[in-house]
Amino acid sequence: MEIWHWMFIVEVILLLLLTFGSYYARRLDMDKHHIMTYTAIIGQVLVFTFYMRPRILFLISRGFVSELLIIHAILGLTTIFLSLFLAYMFLKDKNDYDLTKLRYTRPIMILTYFMWLATFTFGTIIYFRAHILR
């Protein structure tokens, strides 16, 4: 199995972690929510740093620049930065879940989750175009 197949499996696992993390947030089980979402964020940062960034730079250097790749890259970077911002907001005041903070961070969390889904979708399309449908 080649590296991009493994990366696709890792991305599916990270998305499942994030999805289950949001499920536990709705059930107000914040410990499980944080474990799953922080794991997904750290995993995504590692995948981006060591696989996606070099791969995107390689594809661009070979002239494989498409609107879909640009949208995927910009959306993915924005999602990673929003995820890191949210993690920072809650890690700096550990176990401080006041309603004011939740009131203004919850919409950002929901937006970030849907951006993560959109990024995953675009990445899946790129994956199938580049590796499966060739």
pLDDT of residue 95: 62
pTM, entire model? 0.88
CA distance 84 to 72: 18
> In the structure, what pLDDT confidence band is assigned to residue 23 with cuts at 50, 70 and 90?
very high
Average pLDDT, the chain: 89
For residue 38, give its domain range.
3-132
pLDDT tens per residue, range 105-127: 899 999 999 999 999 999 999 88
DSSP state of 128: I
Provide the number of structural domains found in the chain: 1
pLDDT of residue 18: 96
Flag whether pLDDT at 96 surpasses 70: no
